[in-house]
Amino acid sequence: MKKLFCILLCLYTLTACGGSRTASGDTDKPKIVVTIFPLYDWTRQILGRQSANVDLTLLLRNGTDMHSYQPTVDDMILISDADLFIYVGGESDAWVQDALKGASGRALNLMDALGDAVQIEEALPGMEAEPDDGTAYDEHIWLSLKNAFTCCHAIADTLDGMDIISAADASAEGYASPFFVFSHHADEYTVKMLELDARYRDTVQAAPLKSILFADRFPFRYLAADYGLDVYAAFQGCSAETEASFETIAFLSGKLDELSLPAVLTTESADGRLAETVIRTSGRPETEILSMNSMQSVTEAEIASGADYLSVMEANLGVLSRALGVA
């Protein structure tokens, strides 16, 4: 594998007619590659005005789902050439170990940075059974504002250890030295996370309901745990299944009736058919179908239109409040 990679790298170097997929194409700048949108947005927020001094690349673009992604040769070369590669570190990133064999820069595994905060992916009551392949950890770490806080400071610490910002740039930003500039940026950015986390907590505490029902995959385990919500769902967060059994549909429909929930939830990529079936099987035909955005397939067009991590999480709070019966 390593020999093949080196051959491909040489061929690419000899034949490539364009630069890598970066913001500026300036090969003299430090290159930072991140896998998915939340990590990309955290990094650009922490870089702040210093974004102009790096080539920051989002690897999974155009709505690519992290669960089905496989890197191309160009992607492998991009990672190999990066000064810093930031990734989640879950099961969907199994390909990363091969990619890093040819890399000389730093790599930041955010699930490692979270340590004991990482949760096991356990089946919920009524959920479709998954193959028993051993212990699996939930990789959707970014859907917890508390996790996001920790991850952002891990990114900032790594950036502070790189030669990105000069003393002159630091002085222009109001700092005495280039050390810890990115930690200061992270402090300012994560204050907004803490404020939004407090709004989530206040909303859940004031809500008349404390349960949510997903007729879909359920990647929001960390968010639900943060605020003490009870959850019923059709599939685990990384499940490849799309067809629910009669037993699962009956279970979810029964919970919808029992708890008098005003909404059935889906993720942004669902077609809504399972949610419609659950509602049709229940005795609550007036139930809404609402979507929460798990940020697993954000497109470049959405980024260009101003999408960012905090705005998506704020929109999710609005959806959650309706699902919990908040007027």
- C-alpha triplet 34, 38, 40: angle, nearest 5°: 35
Q: What is the pLDDT of residues 247-299, one digit of tens each?
A: 999 999 999 999 999 999 999 988 999 999 999 999 999 999 999 999 988 88
Cβ–Cβ under 8 Å, residues 145 and 190: no
Where does the pLDDT of residue 130 fall: very low under 50, low under 70, confident under 90, or very high at 90 and above? confident
Q: What is the b/e burial string over 53-69, where b = at least 16 CB atoms within 10 angstroms of the residue's CB? A: ebbbbbbbbeebebbeb
pLDDT of residue 61: 82
Q: What is the pLDDT of residues 138-158, one digit of tens each?
A: 999 999 999 999 999 999 999
Start-end of CATH 3.40.50.1980 domains in the chain: 2-114+138-194, 207-323
- The dihedral built from the CA positions of residue 178, 180, 186 and 187, taken in this order, carries a sign that is negative
Cβ–Cβ under 8 Å, residues 202 and 221: no
Fold of 207-323: Rossmann fold (3.40.50)
Segment of 61-65, 126-130, 319-323 carrying the highest mean pLDDT = 319-323
Cα-Cα-Cα-Cα torsion 118, 120, 124, 127, nearest 10 degrees, comes to 110
Cβ–Cβ under 8 Å, residues 297 and 264: no
CATH fourth-level superfamily of 2-114+138-194: Nitrogenase molybdenum iron protein domain (3.40.50.1980)
> Worst-scoring range by mean pLDDT, 14-23, 74-83, 311-320?
14-23
pLDDT of residue 131: 72
Q: What is the pLDDT of residues 161-186, one digit of tens each?
A: 998 998 999 999 999 889 999 999 99
Cβ–Cβ under 8 Å, residues 140 and 316: no
In whole numbers, what is the pLDDT of the chain averaged over residues?
A: 89
pTM summary value:
0.89
Give the residue, 24 or 169, on which the prediction is more confident: 169
pLDDT of residue 63: 74
Residue 229 has pLDDT above 80, yes or no: yes
pLDDT of residue 240: 66
Bridge partner residues of 211 (DSSP) = 230
Cα-Cα-Cα-Cα torsion 2, 164, 183, 113, nearest 10 degrees, comes to 0
Amino acid at 27: T
Give the residue, 81 or 10, on which the prediction is more confident: 81
Q: What is the pLDDT of residues 89-124, one digit of tens each?
A: 999 999 999 999 978 899 999 999 999 999 998 888
pLDDT of residue 226: 98
Where does the pLDDT of residue 27 fall: very low under 50, low under 70, confident under 90, or very high at 90 and above? low
